[in-house]
Chains A and B, each alone.
Chain A
Amino acid sequence: MSEELVKVSRAGKAYTRGKQKVSIFDGLDMGIEKGAFLAIMGPSGSGKTTLLNMLGGVDRPTSGEILFQGKRVDNLSESALAAFRAGHIGFIFQFYNLMPMLTAQQNVELPLLLTNQSAKQRRERAAAALEIVGLSDRAKHKPSELSGGQQQRVAIARAIVSDPELILADEPTGDLDRETANEVLTMLQELNTGYGKTIVMVTHDAEAARYAKKTLHLDKGVFVEKDLSA
C-alpha cells in the first residue's frame, strides 16, 4: 500500500467579496500518495490554484485541515510555514518567476540560501540540478538570455534543488509552445518516474494532463477522477 504524502480533510475555503461570502470549497477531501503525478484540471475560477496554494502552505483553508506526512500544516505560524515550504515543497510557476538580475545558476541556488550548506555545496547542488534539466551549459546566462523553455527548465531546477518531497506546478506549460511544453512535461515525468518526486500540476491543457498518472477534474468544489495510467 502506497504511503500518503498529503491528506486534505474536509477543507473549506471561502472569502468575502464586498458583502458577499464566496465559497470555493466546502468539505473537500483528497489524498496524494507519495510518487504520484497528479494533474488537476477544471474551468477558470474552479479553485485549482487555490488548492495548489493550500497544498504548498502558501494559503490556508478556512475550515478543515491539511496534513503533510501525517502532520498538520495548515495551522503553522507564518515562519513555520515558510520553513515548511523551504524544506518540503518545490514550486514551478507559469511565468517562471526567475530573478532577472541573477544567472541561471544563481537562481537555482536561491532556495539553498535558506539551508546551512556551504557556498561550495550550494554551487555543486545547483550545478547538479541544472544538469538534470540539461542546462549546464547555460549556467552563467541570465533569464533574458534564455528561451521560455530554458527559463522554465531553470525554474524546475530551482524547484528540485533542495530535494523537496512535493513539487507543485501551476500551469507550467501555459506560456510555452507545444513542442517546448512537451519537453518540459517529459522532464516532469522523468522527475516523477526517475527521481520519485511527487508532482501536482494544475493545467488547462488536456494534452499536458496526459503526462500525469492521474487527472482530477475540479468543478464547483467537487473532484471527478480519471485514471490515465492504464
Chain B
Amino acid sequence: MTSWGLILKNLFRKKLRTFLTIFAILVAFLIFGVLSAAQRTLTEPPTGAAAARLVTTNFINFTQPLPISYVERVKQLPNAKIVTHSSWFGGYFQEPRNFTVAFAVDPATYLDIYKELQFGPGEREAFLKDRTGLMVGKKLADQFGWKVGDRIPLKSNIFRQKDGRDAWDFTISGIFTNADDESGDQYLFFHYAYFNESRAFGTDFVGQLIIETKDPAQNDAMSQAIDGMFRNSSAETETRSEAAFQASFSAQLGDIGFIVTAVVGAAFVTILLIVGNTMMLTVRERTGEIAVLKTIGFTTRRIFAMILTESLLLAFIGGLIGISLACIALAIVGPMASAFIGTLKMTWPIALTALALMAFLGLVTGLLPAWRAMRTDIITAFARN
C-alpha cells in the first residue's frame, strides 16, 4: 500500500461513476483535438511561394467560371510575371466514394508557377508531352496504389464528355510532392486542353486564374488592376492573395474559430460541472473516512493534496485518452478530409494546449472539494456519521 495506491483506490472505488466521468472528459478532449486540428488546417496561412501568389475568381463566388480569354488579358498587365489557370474537375476514381481533388490546368504555366512541386527525373517533360498525362500527388498515389505509367480512368461528378461518356482516360506521367506544404500533394492535375476539347459544356471557361507577379510588394495594386479590368463585364472578378482566398474558402464552412470556441467551450463548461459535481459528491460521501484519516494522523495538507491529485488524475486520464483517440481519429479521417480542407493532424501546440486544459480542469474541479476535505472537522464528521 502506498499513498498513490490509496489515491487510485479512492479514484476507482465506484468504477462505473469514475468511468462515466472519464468518458465525459474523454469526449471533450476528443472534440477539442479534432476541432483544433481542423481549425489549424483551415486558418493557417500558406507559406513559401503560395504566400506571394494572387488568385482571381468570379466575383459571384469561386464556383462560377471565368472566360479563358481573361488569362491573356491579365498577362498584359505590367506586373504579371506568370499567369496560369485551373478548373475544378470534381473527380472520382471508379466510385464516387473514391473522391479525388482534381484540376484541369495549363501544364507549362502551372508547373512554372508551382515551383514547389517536385517530380522524379523526366516526369515533368513526360507530362508536358502527353495530352492525356496525369500528375498525381504522392499521398493520393499511395492511397490508390498508383504508379507512373498506370492508365487511370477518372470520372467527374460535374462534367460529361461530348460523346456521353462520363470518364476520361489518363496516363500517370509523374508523382509529385510539395516542398512547401506537406498536405499539398493530395490532389492531381491534368491538361486543360484535353479536358476542354472533350467536355460537353463549359468549353473555354476556367475556374480561377493564378498569378505570380514580378513585384509581390505591388500585389494590392495588381489585384485592383485585374478586378478593374473586368468591372461591368459579364464575369466580374475578385482577386486576392492565395492566403486570403484560402481564408475565404474556409469561411464557406463557417467561422471555424467561433465554431471551435463555442463547441469546445460548451463541452468544457459541461465537463467542468460534471467533474466538479462528481468530486464534490465523492468528498461528501467520504466525509467519515476523511475524518478517520485525519484522526490517525493525516495532515490537512496531505488530505488536500490527495483530493486534488485525484481530481487531476481524473482530468489527465480522461484528457490523455481523449487526445490519443483524437490522434487516431485524425490519422483515420485526416487522409479523407485532406482532399477538402488539407491535412488534419495533431500538432505540439494543440497537444500542449490540451495538457494545459487538463491541468486547468483538474485544478478547478478539485480545489473546492479538496478545500472542503481539508476543512473537515473530525468531531462534526463523526457526529454526523
List chain A positions with a Cβ less than 8 A from chain B: 53, 56, 58-59, 78-79, 82-83, 85-87, 91, 93, 95, 97, 99-102, 105-106, 109-111, 113-114, 119, 122-123, 126, 158
Contact = CB atoms under 8 A, between A and B. Distances in A.
Contacts of B298: 82, 86, 114
A136 to B, nearest CB: 17
A91 B296 contact: yes
B6 interface: yes
Interface stretch (B113-121, B172-180, B285-293): B285-293
Nearest to B289: A99
A78 B297 CA distance: 10
B296 A110 contact: yes
A149 to B, nearest CB: 19
A85 B289 contact: no
Could you say which of A59, A105, A114 has the most chain B C-beta atoms within 10 Å of its C-beta? A114
Given A100-B13, A101-B9, A110-B1, 10 more contacts: A56-B295, A82-B299, A101-B10, A106-B5, A113-B3, A114-B296, A114-B298, A119-B2, A123-B1, A126-B1
A185 B385 CA distance: 24
Given A82-B298, A97-B288, A110 B13 contact: no
B173 to A, nearest CB: 68
Contacts of B382: 93
Given A53-B379, A59-B379, A87 B2 contact: no
Q: Which among B295, B297, B298 has the highest number of chain A CB atoms within 10 Å? A: B297
Given A101-B13, A102-B1, A113-B3, A58 B299 contact: no
Question: What 8 pairs between A and B have smallest CB-CB spacing?
Answer: A86-B297, A101-B13, A109-B1, A106-B1, A97-B292, A82-B299, A85-B297, A101-B9
A158 B379 contact: no
B131 interface: no
Nearest to B286: A99
B385 A113 contact: no
B356 to A, nearest CB: 31
Nearest to A59: B379
A80 to B, nearest CB: 10
> How large, as a class, is the contact surface on chain B?
20 to 34
B357 interface: no
A82 B9 contact: no
A139 to B, nearest CB: 12
Nearest to A86: B297
Contact of A113 (B1, B13, B294): B1
Contact of A85 (B10, B296, B301): B296
Could you tell me the dominant secondary structure of chain A's interface residues?
helix
Contact of B2 (A82, A93, A113): A113
A77 to B, nearest CB: 10
A123 B295 CA distance: 21
B38 to A, nearest CB: 42
**Most chain-A CB neighbours within 10 Å: which of B288, B293, B295?**
B295
Given A87-B297, A111-B296, A102 B379 contact: no
A175 B365 CA distance: 38
Contacts of B68: none
A158 B1 CA distance: 13
B256 interface: no
B88 to A, nearest CB: 62
Given A102-B1, A122-B1, A110 B293 contact: yes
A87 to B, nearest CB: 7
Contact of B300 (A59, A79, A109): A79
B378 interface: yes
A79 B1 contact: no
Contacts of B378: 53, 58-59
Contacts of A123: 1
A87 B298 CA distance: 11
B119 to A, nearest CB: 63
A86 B10 contact: no
Contacts of A119: 1-2
A91 B299 contact: no
B200 to A, nearest CB: 73
A101 B282 CA distance: 13
16 contacts: A53-B379, A58-B379, A78-B299, A78-B300, A87-B297, A97-B289, A99-B292, A100-B13, A101-B13, A102-B6, A110-B6, A113-B1, A113-B6, A119-B2, A123-B1, A158-B296
Contact of B294 (A82, A105, A126): A82
Nearest to B383: A49
Contacts of B10: 101
A105 B13 contact: no
Interface in B31-78: none
Nearest to A80: B299
Contacts of B1: 102, 105-106, 109-110, 113, 119, 122-123, 126
A82 B295 CA distance: 7
B199 to A, nearest CB: 72
